[in-house]
Amino acid sequence: MTAALWPRELDAGLSHPKLESLKRRNGKRQLGTIGRGNHFTELQLDEAGCLWALVHTGSRCMGPAIRDLHTGGERLRGLTATSAAGRDYLADAEWAVAFARANRARLIASLAAIVERVLGAVPVAESYLDCTHNSVTRESGLWVHRKGAIPAGDMESGVIPGSMGSATFHVLGRGRADALNSCSHGAGRAMSRSEARQRLSERTVTRDMRDVWFEEAATERLLAESPSAYRDISRVMRAQRDLVKVVRRLRPLLNYRAVTG
């Protein structure tokens, strides 16, 4: 990737040579890519008939590498925020959030260009929303680590996708301090990936995606991400209606999910 395409805010140095090497080798190559797992991109329609684009992805290889380096492979490790190790982790974690934000922006720009060329639909710049669901921030004197959760401060905008093929919700936070001004970032899994591969069939995927365009040739490889492997997003939203207010509900029209790298 040329220097012109690499965002300036990502030039900040990381805390360890291994991370710097990974940034040069893989980070620059992966910027602007979706990745695997539950990450996807989608074209959606809201209740008013307006077309929206969704990109659900994050920091790619960099986030897990930062986590593993600072935890030393332990599942749970505490760090003193003011120590050298704590400051290094916080700086690296902030960099990963910036990478994820730049990654989504690059993808949505590419998708918008395709939609404009094919459909003649021009993006509305002020409608752009970006939402992070893995971050560490200082709030009211505390360090708040959200993993699988998004900020939901009073009137704070958020995006809550379900699974591929199910509804997405644009929301405003209600600022519930007893929930750390947070809410769920999505539906959450009802089955592990291995369980879904054992229990679900290609027919399940086809049924779940019957009203959505998707890559049918990849149906077998999508078993673990079928909507049936996830909780019902509508029930999840009802369960957290005291945390967020729904602004709009969007249904999927076309879903693309990478099944490799």
Q: Which of 39, 133, 170, 185 is catalytic?
A: 185
Residue of 60, 45, 251 whose CA lies nearest to 162: 251
Residue 127, Cβ density class (10 Å: 0-12 exposed, 13-18 middle, ≥19 buried): exposed
Q: How many CB atoms lie within 10 A of CB 42?
A: 25
Contact status, residue 183 vs residue 160, Cβ threshold 8 Å:
yes
Residue of 117, 180, 111, 118 whose CA lies nearest to 152: 180
Task: Mark whether 185 is an active-site residue.
Answer: yes
- Written as six digits, the tokens of 213 are 């365009």
| Helix pair angle (84-119, 62-71), 10° resolution | 170
The catalytic residues are 185
